[in-house]
A and B are shown apart, each in its own frame.
Chain A
């Protein structure tokens, strides 16, 4: 009888462990960002946001004049639907450069929702900056109270584009 008690306690601990993994580790709201610059896609997974607090924001490099495409995926692993306001803006030196997106999102239970936007680096750069200089700005994604930061690094072009001579008339 006492021997079986230990077996039951072992099983109770095992199922308790699985229950914690499911309730605390699986259930919840998880957001993932996919960024594409040029031919390269980068994925920022939900656990990266925890590391962001320790090691700083993640980033992506983009060549001068190229665009960055973002896909923001919100995974609702809850039994109820999830609603939040998503705001995306671009910042440089603690100053807002531009609002990119502001819209509510509503996701049914155990369904993924996603938003897409793009950044044209050329449009965001100051007019007086030359192509051989690097530049950085921060994309801030606000989902309700939660804030995600991504640094976009503009890679300077090694050889500045030569002005094309006007065709002869």
Chain B
């Protein structure tokens, strides 16, 4: 169980680092529509992740 949480932690860190890198590189070239959809997806991503961890009992 502990190992699972560590792996989840690494997964989250890598995901955030990946999105952060892409955002830093390419967000300046996004169109207005692209920025809006990206924002909605980011909110959705963290929202669903929160619900997932809530289901795990965190």
Contact = CB atoms under 8 A, between A and B. Distances in A.
A10 B45 contact: yes
A62 to B, nearest CB: 29
A24 B31 contact: yes
Among B44, B52, B55, chain A packs the most CB atoms within 10 A around the CB of B52
A2 B42 CA distance: 21
A22 B27 CA distance: 10
Interface in B8-40: 15, 18-19, 22-23, 25-31, 33-34, 37-38
A13 B26 contact: no
A10 B19 CA distance: 13
B7 interface: no
B34 A28 contact: no
Contacts of A7: 48, 52
B11 to A, nearest CB: 10
Given A13-B44, A13-B48, A20-B38, A47 B28 contact: yes
A30 interface: yes
Interface in A1-19: 2-3, 6-7, 9-10, 13-14, 16-18
Interface in A75-117: none
Contacts of A17: 19, 22, 38, 41-42, 45
Contacts of B52: 3, 6-7, 10
B6 interface: no
A3 B31 contact: no
Given A3-B52, A18-B19, A20-B37, A9 B29 contact: no
A3 B49 CA distance: 10
Given A25-B22, A30-B29, 18 more contacts: A2-B55, A3-B55, A6-B48, A13-B48, A14-B15, A14-B41, A16-B37, A17-B41, A17-B42, A20-B38, A21-B22, A21-B27, A22-B26, A24-B33, A25-B26, A25-B28, A26-B26, A50-B28
